[in-house]
Structures are given as structure tokens and as C-alpha cells.
Chains A and B, each alone.
Chain A
């Protein structure tokens, strides 16, 4: 049953992927045109030189041919093309950047989950209390504060100012020390700031969901029954309420999975974290058309897989859900 369901979802997702690539392709062409970094606006080259070089790169062809060639490459040969900036295969870039993104986002998600559940449950159990208000305040702030701003402020405080005050300071960016880095402690130290900033958003959103779903579960008949049977509140919450209240969280985490691959683009950029998000940002900034197209398509595919995984996990966690 499950595999049939999965297959149907994959087939249904194909138009989504094709749609995303088409829109990205057109958007990029509309904004960036057929600009080639380093080639256009170069007073060293004469107009006829530029025309020749454009021809060699194939960007002088009609749009639909460029698009068709690209689609054929991606979907029939798994070839995402080459970066316009440095001529290396796009996929190679994505694969080398992926581990860094995974490291950052998986850490952030783990921190987010580990904190969101207790915060959400505590808020729900002490609903309306001062604690609840405080936690609500924190999560509103976490949701409202832009990541880049929070990231820059943390850098300013924990890196620049701490260093200035002679306190132990955290590195302002990168995955490891530029010289002699790479040992576990070094990696953890570099992970602290970006993972904190990224997890703050997850934590804010997820703790709200956990809170409301816990409230809902607490008012269910079976909770009353459990207490009526003489179960302690604590046991009732841990045994019955918790498992049911985190089901919606699974969907949310599933939806974050593509984010795992794309990396928190903003956080990666602010912290110079060498992941897929930074790659996308840098490529867009330097008008590397094929690279942006490649990463976007890659992420679009990841969205589909992420949603699928969430659906499957749902069934495992919630026995009431059945696939037909």
C-alpha cells in the first residue's frame, strides 16, 4: 500500500518540479538576461569578441532552445550543467557544499526540537501563567526578528565585542578555523552562533505548535479518563499527551527538510557558512545563471522528497492515519 501511495505522490510531484524549474529559468532570464559574468561590460573586448564568446557559451541561442537543452541535461542525463563563473559542474559544487549545510541545519533542527517540545508543553500546562507569557514573548520575538539582523548582532556581541573586552570570543563565521582548524572542538565552536540563530526560528514556530496541540490533547476524553483511572498528571502527560501532541511537529519538520538541503540561506550568508545556501546566494550575486538554476532545481526536488517523508512518518506516529 505504502509504496503505491509513494509512487503516486512522486508522479504528482513531477509537474511541481517542472513548474519550479520553468519559473526559475524564466525569472533568471528576465532579471539577468543573457549576461555573462566577466564578459559583458568589459572594455577590453570589442563587440565582435563578445558576440563570439557568447556564441561559444551557447547563450546567443533562442530561449526555448536553451531551456530545452537544459531540461534534457537535467532530467535525462542528470547533468545540471556547468557554472558560468568557474566552469566546473554545478552538481559537483552542490555535493561538496551539502555536508556543511547538513551539519548546520540538522544541528539547528535538533536544538529546535529539543527545546520546542519542553517549552511548548510547559506553556500548555501552565497556560496563562507568567511563564507562558514569557515563553510566548520569546517565540514571538524569534519569529519577528529577521535572522540576518539577529546573526549580525550576535557576531557583533559574541565575536567583535567579546574579543574587544578580552573575553573568550566566538568566531564570526566559517565552518572551521582558517589555520589549523577541523578538530571536533573547533567545529563545535564555529557551529554555536549560526546554529543558535537558525534554531531560534525553528524553536519559535514549533513551540507554538506544540503548545496548541498539547492544549488540544489535554482536553481530550482519554486524558480525562486517564486521570480518572488515577494516573498522576505527570504520567498522563508523558504517556498519553506527548506522543499525540508532537504529531503536527513531524509535518513541520518534514517541511523543513528542503531547508536542510538549501541551508538557511540567510544564516549561511551572514556567517559565511560554506553550504548550499551561501552557494546560491553568491551565484545569484555574481549572476551565475546555471548555478542558481541548479541549486533551485535541487531544492525543488528536495521539497518533494521532504513532503513525502513527512507523510510516511505521519502514518508511523499516528495510527489513525491510513493510506488508500
Chain B
């Protein structure tokens, strides 16, 4: 799992601004000086349309060509190139091209041997994992990657010696790894307890050089130069330069154990925002960039681009307040009310309007691309206002004279919150307000300025009725960090105060179950439980959308590689045609 790091689109705001602006009267009065501006607003689009019509499809050759540079444009910069310090997707994209681990995640989400000769032997109690390190892995300076390097790399995650090493990896590392040792080229990982995602989380731990970092203390590592420029690496690329705020350049590592990649270099270019990403994709200044759903159709229309749109591990949801000590919790504590609210939503219409169709309506806690997805999850919630009304009637909320339902003199009023700088979320709340009005629910929108305030409201303050938020998740189906009663403590993400002994037990048992079939059955049960109790409504699974220049070949991005942390095959087969 990772933090909610979806970039917030400011583009709609800007477009709205443009519309309003161009309507203003004073443009006419200052017509002389504004003539060129008018040309800019109206003229460009028309001229552009003419110009695009003349462009034909690019010819494509299928034989990989050596050399060239691939430029990826991102609106957020990486933070740390020392993997143990980083937990954000932006840093991971870069540092996983530099450092690889014993295992990697393939494009189906399965772990495969990487620096290990073969998949590990697992002891019958599921606590000991034994690997054999390949002897042909080299650092980019030509020296071998040794078992010592491997042990050292793991120590950064769990060893007491490195307490005080900042970053999000250590708390779980110390919790789940008991010991890592080497005997010859045999590496033994010992788990502290039976923990199903152990291999997924700790098999691909990137190996870093002990000879460079071994003598440093935790405090030194926090600020070490390695974080912004590692001298040697073992992945497909090696570090070349990083001008912060501008670009990070990696050069091909010819000593890579699978053989050198096609590209000469890979550049991570900082682009201001999603608007600029599309512009620079069009001009060819960047080859690859992540797009907002709002720009999907515009990118599709661009002849020089391929547009990838794929499901990811993540969802947008709204959480209900269940805490009986809060007034909103007294209303929403009734499961019939929560179910009625979901029946009362036309979620497909929401996906079409807010995500421009680039998302799928969610039926379950887990996305369909997860191995643990329960396709028979029940109940499923279609759009059914009659059922919604019946449920509310049954719960004692009778339609009042004002069009708002009432119970014991109290009106059915909800306090809905999200962060205003996320236009998709705001749009969703507006649609919800409108649709719930039709079933007699008066939902009031409260917008907080930014994610910081929303985060504080969810994790600490917790005075809300319905809170809209999104998560990018990992490949593993465990979501106890969001729904376990443990996370209802102050600072945790279970801000809706969902406390359910059965769910807690299922979460705990499933994460300790090594047998995937048994584990899957538990998650199937959990998904049903979640669907019937609905402590939150998982609204939609938004797609990841990328624009890729047609001169780029073999760039097969998918959810497992970019978000799952399994970056190994990524870039292996990527090659570019020379720029025209």
C-alpha cells in the first residue's frame, strides 16, 4: 500500500476560469490591445484542427533499435534514491531502475526469481525463506554483489542498529523481519510471525552496496549524499545527474545481469502539472506522461500518442461516520440508512461525469485485478431509488413536508466533506448531494482547503458524516490499515470508527494465512461482510492513464509494475525510434 498520492487536477478550475474570462465585456472595450488575446482563445483551436488533419500515422518498425533516450514527464519529483528511505511511487519509479532485489513481480503479479537463482524454499511453518544468490550479479563498477550486500540491505529495514533511520519502511520492517543471515551464497530470511505478504513485501527489497553505506550510522544515512546520487547501482541503469526541480538522468548499466537494455539513458523530467504533461507530450518534449482523466479524449485525438488506460490498485470511496457518540454517527450507525444511501446513487453516471468514463464502478472492497477479488460478492448495489426509499421508510425516516425525511422530529441531514483542491472529489459530492435529494436526504457539502486538513479530519478530528477520499493500494489484499479497529485509534485511518470483531478476526487471520487458497476464501468472506455492513461506499476504481509517444516501443506499463513495486521487467524491452 502507498499513500494517497494521486495528483490533484487543477485543470478544470483553469478551464472554468477561461470560460468566464472570455465572456467578460471589457475584452471588447480594450479591443485593440486584446485582439491578439482573442486570437489566442479562439483562433488556436481552429487552426490546430486544420493542422492535425494533415498528419498521418507514424510508420513503425518492429525491430528494437539500440540507443536513444526516453523522457518521462512527472509532476512530482522523486524524493530519495536510497530505497529504504522512500515510500512514494515517484521515488520508487526511479530507484527501482537503479536497484533490484532477490525477487521481482511479473506483469501478472507473481513473484519471480531475480538476483536469486530460483524461488525460495519456504519452511513448513512459513517463517523461514531460503534463497541462493546468483554469482553473476555485478555493481555498475564491475565488482560483484555479495551476500554481505544482501544482508546489509535487509538490516536497514529491521536491525536495531538502524533505529532512527527515517522513512516509512522501518516500522513494518522491524515488526515482520526477525533476522536475515548469509552462509556462502545462501541467504536466509526469517519472519517474526506468519505473515502472508512477507515475500511480496520483502522478497523484492532493493539491494544496496555495503561498501558505500556500511560504515554509516542511521542519522548519517538520513541525509547521506546517496539519497540524491548513488555512486554505484545494480539495476538496468546507473545514476548520472540530478538537477532538482528539473531532471534526473540515469544512464544504461552495461553490466546489468540480464544484459544491457536498449536505451542509452532514461530521464525523469519534472513537469509543472497535468496540463503541461499533455502539452509536452504533444510537442514531443516528453515521451511518456501520466494524464488526468479530463484530458483523456484530447490525448486520444493526438496522432503522435498512444494512450494507455488500465486498472490500478486503488479506489475512491466515501466513509460513513459510525461513532454513536457523534450526532452523525447516530444517523449513519443504522446499516439500513447506509445501504439506502448507496442504492440511491447512480454510480455509473458519476463515473461518466467525474472520471470521464476512465474508472470502473466498484462492487467490492478489492479491485477486480486483485487475485483475492470476489466476483460473487453480495449484496451488490445497483441504482434503485425505490429500494432506497423503502429502506429509509423501514428505518423510520419518513418523508417530511419539506422534501427531507424526518425521524422523531430530526431531519435527515448529512455533513459531507472532502478537499476542495481535488476537483474529481468535489464533483462527486455535488452529484451525491443532487441524487440524495431525490430520496429525501439533505446532504450538505463542506469543503476543506487541502488534503492536509482532510487527513487531519479523518485521522484525528473525526467530526464528519460522510468523508470522501481515495487510496492507492498495493498488490496485497490486506487493508487492515484502513478498516481494522486498531486503526480507529487516534492517528489511524479508520476515522469512521468501524469496529467489527468479525472483520478484525478475518483481517488478522487472513494476513497470517500462508496458503493462498484459504486466504482467498477469507477475503471473499470479508468482502461479503463489508458489502453487507457498508462502513463505507467504495465508489469506483479509477484507471491509470498514460500518454506514450508512438516512437516508444515495448513500454508495457501496468498496475503491478508501477504501483506494485515490481519494477524489474519494466524498461527491459523498451526502445525508442530516433527523434525526427
Which A residues are within 8 Å of any B CB, using their own CB? 31-33, 35, 38-53, 56-57, 82, 85-88, 93, 96-97, 133-134, 137-138, 140-141, 144-145, 149, 152-153, 155-157, 159-161, 163-166, 169, 171-175, 178-179, 269-272, 274-275, 278-279, 282, 286-287
Contacts and interface: CB of A to CB of B under 8 A. Distances in A.
Interface string B425-445: 000000000000000000000
B21 interface: yes
Contacts of A57: 166
A43 B493 contact: yes
A248 to B, nearest CB: 24
Contacts of A85: 79
A164 B48 CA distance: 7
Given A46-B487, A141-B37, A160-B282, A31 B449 contact: yes
Given A31-B452, A53-B168, A164 B279 contact: no
Interface residues on B, range: 35 or more
Given A41-B459, A145-B37, A153-B40, A173 B168 contact: no
Contacts of A46: 171, 481, 486-487, 492
CB-CB nearest 8 A-B residue pairs: A43-B481, A137-B33, A49-B171, A47-B491, A274-B245, A141-B33, A47-B492, A274-B246
A140 B245 CA distance: 33
A134 B37 contact: no
Given A35-B455, A160-B279, A86 B79 contact: yes
Given A31-B452, A161-B44, A87 B245 contact: no
A226 B172 CA distance: 84
Nearest to A41: B455
Contact of A274 (B79, B270, B493): B270
Nearest to B228: A88
B420 interface: no
A270 B456 contact: no
Given A42-B168, A88-B223, 12 more contacts: A33-B452, A38-B87, A40-B459, A41-B459, A46-B171, A50-B492, A87-B80, A87-B85, A133-B32, A140-B30, A166-B51, A274-B243
B457 to A, nearest CB: 11
Nearest to A89: B223
A54 to B, nearest CB: 9
**Residue of A87, A137, A159, A172 most packed against chain B (CB within 10 A):** A87
17 contacts: A38-B79, A40-B3, A41-B4, A43-B479, A47-B486, A56-B166, A86-B80, A144-B30, A149-B17, A149-B21, A155-B279, A159-B283, A163-B283, A164-B51, A165-B51, A174-B269, A278-B245
B447 interface: no
A137 B4 CA distance: 47
Interface string B348-380: 000000000000000000000000000000000
Nearest to A179: B69
Interface in B463-507: 469, 471, 473, 479, 481-482, 486-487, 489-493
B1 interface: yes
Given A87-B227, A272-B276, A172 B453 contact: no
Given A140-B30, A161-B47, A47 B452 contact: no
B227 A86 contact: yes
A85 B30 CA distance: 46
A41 B458 contact: yes
Contacts, number: 207
A321 B69 CA distance: 60
Nearest to A39: B168
Contacts of A47: 486-487, 489-492
Contacts of B41: 153
Contacts of A144: 26, 30
A96 B168 CA distance: 28
A149 B227 contact: no
B280 A157 contact: no
Contact of A174 (B85, B223, B246, B265): B246
Contact of B3 (A38, A52, A175, A274): A38
A172 B71 contact: no
A279 to B, nearest CB: 6
A301 B437 CA distance: 54
B17 to A, nearest CB: 8
Contact of A44 (B37, B172, B458): B172
B279 A172 contact: yes
B492 A35 contact: no
Given A141-B34, A164-B51, A97 B245 contact: yes
B168 A44 contact: yes
Contact of A141 (B30, B269, B275, B450): B30
Contacts of A270: 272, 276
Nearest to B164: A56
Interface-central residue, B18, B40, B164, B275, by most chain A CB under 10 Å = B40
A165 B283 CA distance: 11
B1 A44 contact: yes
Interface of B: 1-4, 14, 17-18, 21, 26, 30, 32-34, 37, 40-41, 44, 47-48, 51-52, 55, 69, 71, 76-77, 79-80, 85, 87-88, 164, 166, 168, 171-172, 222-223, 227-228, 243-247, 265, 267, 269-272, 275-276, 279-280, 282-286, 449-453, 455-456, 458-459, 469, 471, 473, 479, 481-482, 486-487, 489-493
**Which of A43, A47, A138 has the most chain B CB atoms closer than 10 A to its own CB?**
A43
A88 B171 contact: no
A44 B2 contact: yes
Contacts of A178: 69, 71, 247, 267, 269, 285-286
A285 to B, nearest CB: 9
B171 A134 contact: no
Q: Which of B18, B284, B491 has the most CB of A within 10 A?
A: B491
Nearest to A286: B76
Nearest to A43: B481
Contacts of B284: 163
Contacts of B285: 171-174, 178
B52 A164 contact: yes
Contact of A160 (B33, B269, B283): B283
A43 B30 CA distance: 54
A48 B492 CA distance: 9
Contacts of A35: 452, 455-456
Contacts of A286: 76
Residue among B222, B284, B451, B482 facing the most chain A CB atoms (10 A cut-off):
B451
B243 to A, nearest CB: 7
A44 B267 contact: no
B71 A269 contact: no
Contacts of A137: 30, 32-33
Contacts of B486: 46-47
Contacts of A278: 245, 272
Contacts of B228: 86, 88
Nearest to B268: A178
A134 B456 contact: no
A6 B79 CA distance: 42
Nearest to A270: B272
A301 B86 CA distance: 34
Nearest to B481: A43
A1 B223 CA distance: 47
Contacts of B282: 160, 163-164
A221 to B, nearest CB: 36
A286 B270 CA distance: 14
A40 B246 contact: no
A296 B550 CA distance: 43
